[in-house]
Structure 1
C-alpha cells in the first residue's frame, strides 16, 4: 500500500525545512510553505543558497502568530511578525516574475543583513498577491507563493534509494526539498502519475522537477559536494531537455489536511 511517509515545509525560501506530522493546505499548497523570501535590498532580486550558501544554516520556523522565528549560529533568535495591512510594499523579482509584496520591516532586515553580510530585506506573500504557476503546465488559475514554479513537490522513497545506490552513499531526502514523501511505490513510479488522492485532497501531477546545484549542498553542514553529487549522477540517467529530473511538481485541487501515515491513491 502507498502511504504518505513524510511531510516537510520551508517557511522561508531556501532556508532550513521543518519536519511535520500534519498540516493544513490552502490554495498555495502547504499552509505557510515558502510564504517568506529574502531579497537584495537594492535590486529586489530573490536570494537563495545558489548565491548565498549560508542560508542552509538559517532556521526559519513558522510561529503561532503566522510570523517567523529566525535563528542562526552566532546570532540570537528573533521573532518576526506577519506584516500588517499597512506594511510597506516592496517590488521584488523571482525568476521572471515581478510583484509587489509586504516588507517585514527594518528589525528583520538588520538581523538578516548582519547574518548574510550585505543589505537584505525580508518579504512575505499574502494569498491575494500570489504568482501564477509556470506557464505551459497545469491550469491558468493555478497559483504559487515563493516556490520556484509550483506549490508542491513529491518524491518517492524508492527513487531516493535508487539514486543513493547509484551515487554510492546514502543521500538525505532534505537535499531535494520535497513537501510530500511517498513510500510503497517502485522507484520513479511517480513519473507516470497524473492524479493522486491523499485523505480527502486530490492533487494534479503537472511537471517533473528539474534539479540544480542546490542538490549538491549538504542540508546539515551547508558544504557543497566536491564531486558534484548527486547532480552528476542524475545528469547521466535522468536528463531531459529541461535538465536532470528528480521528483514531481503537484498542485492541490482543494484545501484540506494531510497527516503522515495517510494512504495514497493513484487516480490516473
Structure 2
C-alpha cells in the first residue's frame, strides 16, 4: 500500500479501531495502514524482514557509561520498528531519517509482564520509557500525509504512547556518530533513556528537531497528562540509580 493510496475513510476507521484495540501490535499496524506513516514496506520479496517495519519514532538516547558517573551524553535516535509478536518490538536505530542514514543501533522493547520474568542481572540492562513519553520528547514524527491534519495525528500518537509508556527497552549502539567516527569502532555501547528533567533541559535539547518538524512539545505533554504513571521496576535504569547512590555528577551534593 502506498502512502498516497490510503483514503481518509480508512484513516477514520483505523482511528476508531485504534481507540478500542487491546494490543500494541494492532495499534501500530493501524497507524501504519490507516494513518500513512513515513515507513513503507519494500516491494522486493527478498527483503521480507523489512516489510514488517510499521512504526517510526524519534527520541534521544543516553550513554550508560557516562550516566553511571552522573554525566549526560545524548545522541539523536530515529527508530524504525516492527512487532515480532504482541509482546516484542524490535527497532533499527538510525542517525537520521534520510536515504543515507547510518544504522547505529538496535533496540528491543517488551511489556512489564515479560520484563519481570527476567533474572535481576538481566533486568539491570533495560530502561524505562515513562519520562520519554510524559516529557513529550518521544514522538512519532508527522507524516507528509498529515501535514495539515496534525491534531488527528496527535490523537493517534497519544493513544500509541499509552502502550509505549509501560514498555522496557534493551538498547545497544554500535556507532558513536556523535564523536564524528566514520565507521563503527570498538565494542557496542549499552544505551538508555533520560528519566527526569534534572538530567537535561529536554525542551532546549529538542528545540531544533521541534522547529524542523513543526512539533509543539508542550502540547505533547498536555495531551499525555492523562496517561497513568507506571510503577517502574527498581532494577531498570540501573545506571542512573548507581550515580544517585554514589552522589556523582549531577547527583553530587
Query: Which protein has the bigger strand share?
Result: 1
Higher relative contact order (CA 8 A, sep 6+): 1
| TM-score > 0.5 by shorter chain | no
Query: Which protein has the bigger helix share?
Result: 2
TM-score by length of 1: 0.25
